[in-house]
Amino acid sequence: MKMNAYVAGVGMTHFGRMMDRGMKAVGGEAIEQALSDAGLEKTDIQAAWMSNAAAGVLTGQECIRGQVVLRGIGMGGLPVINVENACASASTAFNQACMMVTAGVYDVVLACGVEKMYFPDKAKVFGAFMGAVDVEQLQAILESLQKSAAASGATEASKSAGQNRSMFMDIYAAAARGHMARYGTTVEQFAMISAKNSYHGSLNPRAQFREAMSVEEVLAAPMIAEPLTRPMCSPIGDGAAAAIIISERKMRELGLTTAVRVASSVLRSGWDHEPGAEGLAEVCTREAYEAAGLGPEDLSLVELHDASAPAELMGYESIGLCAKGEGGRLVADGATRLGGRIPVSTSGGLLRKGHPIGATGIAQVVEVTEQIQGRSGARQVEGARVGLCHNGGGNIGSDAAAQCITILTRG
């Protein structure tokens, strides 16, 4: 829907391995940064939308996750809405916070996502991802993935799904093999995305991985699930991101001149549709463009849900950067690299910036906000005015379970 809300300040931790820090410390750091960035005090916040996806499975912290994080930095007395929506948890929190500001209920609110995924028991971590599908169909899903892999000769993908890796890598791998068979997309084109994002991540001091990789190095890395090598898969990680959202009235009252406008934000869940029909991402994107009065030709940059390299390539097609089947050519032409026609995942994306799942959606908002404000340093997109955030989560049937598309603009 069309929004009337502004991002007044953002904050984000470094993403990576934080075994010595808990969820309260990590989340609190991002919130304190966002408040400082907005020039506001804790007492100015009227409500908070707090996102986390996996703490209940990993640490047993259920029910009051947001309150725990906020009380850790002395913020109590607020209405706190805890949000869990798979990998789209943070974008969902941001969407709902913006809606309440747009509706005139609040003038100053907080949206924060925090996740701690490094855990001694890796089986528990991968088990958290298992819960992002219909668990009553879990065995059938695993058998279907194994059958698909075996039919295409994918030996690594035909074993160990969900045991030594997230089963979502097998879902992405199956989709990638299908795209290759249908459109002639190559594994080299997937590797180009990983190499591109590694270059972008090398310029981002908050990214989990800072090493730039060549296409050849990506292809030579260990195979995870054909055709995905390790750099084509997003890592687990710890981290948090936060945004302070304000009304237009409050923006004028504070005299803010650099606040970034939330032009539109669309949240939907998936549904059963015919193969080849318009899917969840396409519908959300079309509605977001219409509400903002913009189109793909107006975008300066995109933060895309590249949970795998093929996911980014197929995302190009879903959000209208190119036609179906043309994603491979788009990346091969250099269009989505910094300096190209439409830079994608300038932060390094989930592949290199990292993917603490409950923080990812707001981390995208942080990147686009800072780009529009011209403070992204070596990875700055010249003249950035409009950015799109594409964040999905979970899987049911042949589509994501949740999708959020948000468009941010200058002023």
Q: What is the DSSP string of 168-184?
A: HHHHHHHHHHHHHHHH-
C-alpha span between 345 and 361 (Å, rounded): 12
C-alpha span between 128 and 114 (Å, rounded): 15
Chain centroid offset of residue 213 CA: 22
Q: Identify each DSSP E strand in 28-172 by its residue range.
A: 47-51, 80-83, 108-115
C-alpha span between 410 and 388 (Å, rounded): 12
Note whether 3 and 98 are within 8 A (CB). yes
Domains of the chain: 2-120+236-410 (3.40.47.10)
What pLDDT tens digit does each residue of the chain (411 aa) get? 889 999 999 999 999 999 999 999 999 999 999 999 999 999 999 999 999 999 999 999 999 999 999 999 999 999 999 999 999 999 999 999 999 999 999 999 999 999 999 988 888 888 888 889 999 998 898 888 888 888 887 777 656 666 677 889 999 999 999 999 999 999 999 999 999 999 999 999 999 999 999 999 999 999 999 999 999 999 999 999 999 999 999 999 999 999 999 999 999 999 998 877 889 999 999 999 999 999 999 999 999 999 999 999 999 999 999 999 999 999 999 999 999 999 999 999 999 999 999 999 999 999 999 999 999 999 999 999 999 999 999 999 989 999 999 999 998
- Given this model, what pLDDT does residue 152 score? 81
Q: How far is CA 267 from CA 105, 122, 132, 243, in A?
A: 20, 31, 17, 18
Chain centroid offset of residue 36 CA: 24
Q: How far is CA 222 from CA 89, 125, 147, 185, 313, in A?
A: 30, 21, 22, 21, 21
Q: Identify each DSSP E strand in 186-290 by its residue range.
A: 223-225, 228-229, 239-246, 260-269
- Given this model, what pLDDT does residue 161 score? 64
Identify the H or E element spanning 285.
Answer: helix 280-292
Note whether 3 and 267 are within 8 A (CB). no
Catalytic residue numbers, as ranges: 87, 355
- List the one residue out of 390, 336, 341, 382 whose CA is nearest residue 363: 390
- Given this model, what pLDDT does residue 97 score? 98
Residues in the chain: 411
Question: Hey, CA dihedral for 134, 135, 137, 141, is it positive or negative?
Answer: positive
- List the one residue out of 333, 375, 376 whose CA is nearest residue 353: 376
Structure tokens given for 318 = 């879903």
- Given this model, what pLDDT does residue 158 score? 59
- Given this model, what pLDDT does residue 148 score? 82
C-alpha span between 194 and 224 (Å, rounded): 14
